[in-house]
Amino acid sequence: MALSSCGWRLAEVQSSPGPLPPTKMYIYTWAGYTDNELLKNFSEQTGIEVIADVFESNEEMLAKIQAGGGGAYSVIYPSDYTVRKMVELNILHEIDHTRLPVIKQLFEQFQNPSYDPGNRHSVPISWGTTGLIYNTEKLKEFPEDWDYLWKNKQVLSRRMTLLNDPREVIGAALRMLGYSYNSENPQEIKAAYEQLTELKPAIASFTSDGWRPQILAGDLLVAMCYSSDANEIISESENLQYALPSSGSSLWTDTLVIPKFAPNVEGAYAWINFVLQPSVAAELCKRLSFAPPTYTAFNLLPEEIQKNPSLFPPEKALEKCERLSPLPPKVTEIYDRFWTQLTSS
């Protein structure tokens, strides 16, 4: 579904279930961003029960909301470029910074982000890169850049996965060809699509989360993934490593937003304050492997985590990475059309 669905209206979202009691709250998040311990601790501290639903891509999340299926959520976890799209759709509550003192503890790069100047509508929860996790025991040569997948497609045949995310997958092919992740040039996007159709027979599946048990079991040799997910899985197997492609990749920030239709705004502020509390954020980094956006949480991390290149890459590597930017509707339609052709053929 195109992100620019012109028939959508806020009232459709609000036609969901009636008001929730203040002791219950639904959030819509990525897999791996919550666990039972986090939910239990929050409930014990606030008296609010949290139910977490998960999505695999920003496009999936936004499509559900535009179709009227998101009215129960008080907190949503969009990535940076999707925050801008949600602001354009006028569906986000403006953040009251006086209720979130933790905002003053953000690293400088997150204090006035290009995707949401002044953090008016969002608060960062984590950040990272997109790359490749691979099995060092079963591969003779290790990936250093995106072109590795094409050069080794026979060895990797049906034993590699790509993300279930059109912007990331087409973006990686664009970057391999020397173009921007955010290309608006139809010919460049078509060239990336053609590269991906060449690779398609060797791809086991497009999944943002399902690769985990498969790569641990040795069924997969390589998976395109987010750095935070890779770091979590690497801790379970000494044979797995993460590569940030040398030609560049995406630099992403996942955020917390409060939709205008949120049934429990008070609970939403309580949740954001809780998960960004330095001690909680540091423990989440240790337990769930995603990089915190505040220096107060970073300073609580053990030195070996602070120096972990999967979570905190060197500055030279980050200089080659790009943030995904919202695209004009006509360009989005091109990405969506090629993505549908790629994944359905």
Least confident of 14-28, 236-250, 272-286, 289-303: 14-28
pTM score: 0.82
Q: Can you list the domains of the chain with their CATH numbers?
A: 10-127+252-313 (3.40.190.10), 130-251+321-344 (3.40.190.10)
Nearest in space to 1 (alpha carbons), one of 248, 166, 228: 166
Q: Residue 124 above 90 pLDDT?
A: yes
Identify the pLDDT of residue 5. Answer: 31
| pLDDT tens-digit readout, 47-84 | 999 999 999 889 899 999 999 888 899 999 999 999 99
| pLDDT tens-digit readout, 94-114 | 999 999 999 999 999 899 998
Distances (CA, A) of 86 to 62, 63, 65, 81, 131: 8, 11, 10, 9, 26
Least confident of 100-114, 117-131, 168-182: 100-114
* DSSP track, 71-109: TTEEEE--BHHHHHHHHHTT-BPPP-GGG-GGGGGB-GG
